[in-house]
Structure 1
Amino acid sequence: MTDFRASDPQRAWAHVPAEPLRGTPGGPLDGLTFSVKDLYGVPGWPLRASTRAPVPGVGESVLVRRLLELGATALGKTHLHEVALGITGLNGSGGTEHPVLAGRVPGGSSSGAAVSVALGQADFALGTDTGGSVRVPAAWCGVVGYKPTKDHPAWSTEGVLPLSVTCDHAGPLARDVATVARVHAALSGETVIPGDWAGVRVGVWQPEGWTDAAVREAVSAFGAGLEARGAHLSPIPLPEMLDAYSPIVLGEAAQVHAQALQEEDPGFLPFTLMSLRQGAALEAAEVAAAFARRAAYRAELDTLLAQYDVLLAPAVPTPPPLAGQDEVELEGGPLPLRRAVLRLTTPFSLLGAPALALPTAAPWIGAQLVGRWGDDARLLGLALSLEDRG
């Protein structure tokens, strides 16, 4: 296990207390350690959201308190992409680097969370996912990331600094599904057992040209593995949903940081400040139109999930890009990195369906499994059955 107290070359840790917060002995999560993304309110620990700008207070995180009550021990806070508004890990403290690949990004916004579990520093990590912020770093760091159904009672966002109240989710990252399932079962009281893939209807969303060849091949191979277990795979269509996602998230994020935006230079990085000011400038009609589009997209996903038990999709468009890289080369041609990533992950945070990012056989490439709303235990169980127990 890496000694993150002595050395943190990836800049994953935002706050490491002199002593961890120890969980209640004998609880169902006794023996597990976790890191906390620096959006969660923890009494006695600072909350900076990896920015030099002032941020609102949020009170105590219900989820962190509950995990401590269940026996897990909190080790400290991890860095994130500044105020969670990004997918690479860039922030006011220099940014977080990939756990293994020098010069590559770990993904974001839950960048430090992913690094802390990938390096074995914590058994699981608390992240948040608004547009892919758990799933993207999980995919690029080779770990598991779970975004529960929106407003799942086990995964409270109370006491968490929001980005978008419409799209925010709390969720964990871990090195295996078994740990994620154990945490979810303890929090929810739901039983998670390995699921049988025989007869499971899988809708495969692999939009032509939206990934590079390595990702397309990795997700196809992952799907072939499901077929070998008896699943029935069929291709499905889904549109890009950024025209609904972006106005909603930017508008709500600007409201969260309204007080800081009153200052000429509040301390945000240039892209963050530009994005927040863009959100503040949105007209009410533009935001209303985005919510109308969201409702139409929800109807499309409703229709698909009535026909299929789970969906399979890429979690990222390419392997981890270089730090500072703004564009990626896809089979459909070059595209800005942010759009290339978010159009794969935003549908399921925008619409609140539970989603898991799982490693594939190809290094640093993850696939998504998406379930029906509220069907979290079954989704986790199906994923649990894929783990090699050898």
Structure 2
Amino acid sequence: MTRPPHDDPQRAWAYRPERPLEGAPGGPLGGSTFSVKDLYGVPGWPLGASTRAAVPDPGDSVLVSRLLALGASAVGKTHLHEIALGITGLNGHGGTTHPHDPARVPGGSSSGAAVSVALGQVDFALGTDTGGSIRVPAAWCGVVGFKPTKGHPGWSTQGVLPLSWTCDHAGPLARDGATVARVHAALTGHDVPRQDWAGVRVGLWLPEGWTDAAVADAVMAYAHSLEARGAAVERVAFPEVLDAYSPIVLSEAAHVHAAALAQDDPGFLPFTLGALRQGQAITDAEYAHAFERRAEYRALLDGLFTAYDMLLAPAVPTPPPLIGQDEVDIGEGRVPLRRAVLRITAPFSLLGAPTLALPTTTPFVGVQLVARHGQDDRLLGLGLALEDAR
């Protein structure tokens, strides 16, 4: 059983009790440990969402209770990008740094979660994903991240402080897919069988200019490895969805944090406060129009899955950027970091499709495998087959 260290140079840990919450004896996850992103309500543990602002109490997490009942032990809470509204790990407590390079970001918002598994401090971590917040830190820290189908009964968001009830997902990060599959199997009550890639139809989504050369090469190499396993890979197109994603998330986040925003000094970092004020300014008509656009994008995604079994895409546009870096250089030029990342990851949280982030042979560059809604087990099984090959 792993234990978190006494020191924490990456500032990954928000709360570490003297003793872990021990899992029930005899469960299928017995002997394993996990960290909890500090959005989950845990009885007796504080909830701060890595902010100096006051946040609502979501109640106790159903998912944490289930994992404890299944035998896993919770060792503490991890830091996140403030209130989960960001993709670097910046927060009101100094921010979390990369597990292997202190000059770089680990990704967010589940930054501490990714660091805790990358450093072997726990066997798996609970994160949340609203626009890429499991997949981005998984990719930049070289671990595996899983965003299940929206509303999956095994991965409850009840008792988790929301950012956007439309887009929020709960899910795990781990050093390998076998651990993710084991946790998923324990929660669902049935095993995840390995899947054969022979005959699998894969749509390769790699928009021209949206990544740097290192990421593009890594994704193409991954596509070739799938072809070598018998998959049929073809390029596909899909639009940028931020015109629907951003109004929904910012409006809902402002609603969640309305009480703090009513204070003279809410306590948020300037970027977070600015984003929440932007959310407050979104009109009902703009919010409704964003859902109309979301429905159009869902129809496009469903259409792709009539022709393809899986999608393959980059999980990040570049390797991990430097702390404080606001722009990245990619194929189409210099682009704001937030937009460069979110336009790659946000479609699958906005639309609720199950997505698995896997490392590549290029350090700290990951890919996404995306499946049809409800095909979580098949997605994880295909991931296991790739892990066996590695």
Q: Is the structural similarity TM-score above 0.5? A: yes
User: After superposition, where does 1:1-390 map in structure 2 within 5 Å?
Assistant: 4-388=4-388
2-side partners of 1:280 and 1:23: how far apart?
41
**CA-CA distance at 1:211 after TM superposition:** 0.1
Contact 1:190–1:377 (CA under 8 A) maintained in structure 2: no
1-side partners of 2:113 and 2:190: how far apart?
25
Q: Which moved more, 1:3-12 or 1:71-80?
A: 3-12
What secondary structure sits across from 1:334 in the alignment? strand
**CA-CA distance at 1:5 after TM superposition:** 3.8
Contact 1:110–1:127 (CA under 8 A) maintained in structure 2: yes
Contact 2:314–2:366 (CA under 8 A) maintained in structure 1: yes
Cα distance 1:207–1:389, how it changes in 2: closer, same or farther (>3 A)? closer
Contact 1:134–1:145 (CA under 8 A) maintained in structure 2: yes
Give the number of aligned pairs: 390
**CA-CA distance at 1:31 after TM superposition:** 1.0
Matched to 2:255, the amino acid is: Q
1-side partners of 2:34 and 2:102: how far apart?
25
**CA-CA distance at 1:264 after TM superposition:** 2.1
**CA-CA distance at 1:191 after TM superposition:** 2.6
Task: Write out the 4+ residue segments of structure 1 that deviate beyond 4 Å after TM superposition.
Answer: none
What secondary structure sits across from 2:386 in the alignment? coil
1-side partners of 2:161 and 2:148: how far apart?
18
1-side partners of 2:35 and 2:293: how far apart?
36
Matched to 1:243, the amino acid is: D
Matched to 1:335, the amino acid is: V
Matched to 2:46, the amino acid is: P
CA RMSD of aligned residues (A): 1.1
2-side partners of 1:388 and 1:298: how far apart?
33
What secondary structure sits across from 1:387 in the alignment? helix
Matched to 1:136, the amino acid is: V
Sequence identity, in percent? 73
Matched to 2:274, the amino acid is: M
* C-alpha distance after superposition, 1:259-292 (max 9, x if no partner): 0000121100000000001101111000011000
**CA-CA distance at 1:3 after TM superposition:** 6.4
Contact 1:5–1:16 (CA under 8 A) maintained in structure 2: no
Give unmatched runs, 5+ long, in structure 2. Answer: none
2-side partners of 1:366 and 1:260: how far apart?
36
Contact 1:2–1:119 (CA under 8 A) maintained in structure 2: no
Contact 2:5–2:121 (CA under 8 A) maintained in structure 1: no
TM-score, length basis structure 2: 0.99
Contact 1:13–1:76 (CA under 8 A) maintained in structure 2: yes
TM-score, length basis structure 1: 0.99
2-side partners of 1:344 and 1:191: how far apart?
30
What secondary structure sits across from 1:386 in the alignment? helix
Contact 2:205–2:238 (CA under 8 A) maintained in structure 1: yes
Contact 1:254–1:279 (CA under 8 A) maintained in structure 2: yes
2-side partners of 1:189 and 1:3: how far apart?
27
2-side partners of 1:77 and 1:3: how far apart?
13
**CA-CA distance at 1:132 after TM superposition:** 0.1
